[in-house]
């Protein structure tokens, strides 16, 4: 069985659920939030929300902070992550979250290009949707019928097969994502005997010279989430 992929621009606030029935695929966009960091320039990306021990974290790629783990080059040192949140009255707010600690230098094969930034003092009327809702370890090694990811500020769409390459932590999708998709959660569509379910299938990392989208596997992603959030200061 092969993957196929559809990439979409995000429309915040779409409704939907992860119950065992079909739902509009646009509703999956609710798991993605526009994010950016500022150094000498503005770096756009995408984040998603992860809850652990009562705390809320924005998960995105570490390279938004300013370290390129592929080229092993520092391009900045952002001190804050900014995330766009929808309010219950359909308005939006930009929430600033400090990035703790000194910037780290590493290669992508030494550690994953992910960071967890704790979100405090969130607006009481913010619409928050957590990726925890669709994380299911029982699906980590299964092949979805389709995969979807939503990112900012550009979009592209296609149905393509996943490149047949897998390593310990990564897999490729043969459609190249646009700038701004960094940090997007990958969501798989599975057909079961009880209907269709959507499950977390990893994180968009970047793209290769072969015009493939590079994704971090779900098991590796979840392990990194738990490790990174455990390192946060109380």
Range of 197's domain? 5-31+133-219
Residue 229 has pLDDT above 90, yes or no: no
List strands edge to edge, sheet with 213-216.
5-9, 146-151, 185-192, 195-207, 213-216, 170-173
**Alpha carbons 43 and 114: distance in angstroms, whole number:** 15
Q: What is the distance, to the nearest Å, from the Cα of residue 108 to the centroid of all Cα atoms in its chain?
A: 17
pLDDT given at position 208:
63
Q: Number of folded domains in the chain?
A: 2
- What pLDDT score does 9 carry? 33
Residues 197-219 pLDDT 10s: 999 999 998 776 566 788 899 99
Domain co-membership, 80 together with 40: yes
Identify whether residues 38 and 125 lie together within a single domain.
Answer: yes
- Given pLDDT bands bounded at 50, 70 and 90, which one contains residue 77? very high
Per-residue model confidence (pLDDT) at position 117: 97
Which domain CATH number covers 140? 2.40.10
For residue 34, give the nearest of 49, 48, 46, 50 by alpha carbon.
46
Q: Give per-residue pLDDT as tens, 149-196.
A: 888 765 544 444 454 556 789 888 766 666 678 899 988 889 999 999
Band of the pLDDT at 10, cuts 50, 70, 90?
very low
């Amino acid at each position: 069985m092969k993957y196929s992929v559809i990439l979409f621009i995000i429309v915040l606030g779409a409704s939907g659920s992860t119950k065992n029935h079909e739902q509009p695929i646009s509703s999956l966009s609710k798991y993605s939030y526009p994010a950016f960091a500022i150094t000498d320039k503005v770096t756009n990306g995408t984040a998603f929300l992860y809850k652990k021990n009562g705390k809320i974290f924005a998960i995105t790629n570490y390279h938004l902070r300013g370290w390129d783990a592929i080229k092993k080059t520092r391009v900045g040192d952002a001190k804050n992550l900014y995330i766009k949140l929808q309010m219950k009255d359909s308005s939006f707010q930009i929430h600033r979250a400090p990035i703790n600690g000194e910037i780290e230098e590493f290669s992508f094969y030494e550690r994953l290009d992910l960071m967890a930034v704790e979100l405090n003092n969130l607006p009481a009327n913010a619409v928050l949707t957590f990726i925890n809702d669709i994380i299911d370890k029982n699906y980590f090694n299964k092949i979805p019928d389709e995969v979807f990811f939503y990112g900012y500020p550009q979009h592209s769409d296609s149905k393509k097969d996943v490149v047949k390459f897998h390593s310990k932590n990564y897999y490729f999708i043969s459609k190249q994502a646009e700038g701004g998709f960094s940090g997007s959660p990958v969501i798989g569509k599975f057909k079961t005997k009880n209907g269709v379910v959507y499950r977390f299938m990893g994180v968009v990392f970047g793209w290769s010279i072969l015009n493939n989208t590079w994704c971090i596997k779900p098991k590796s992603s979840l392990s990194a989430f738990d490790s990174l959030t455990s390192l946060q200061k109380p």
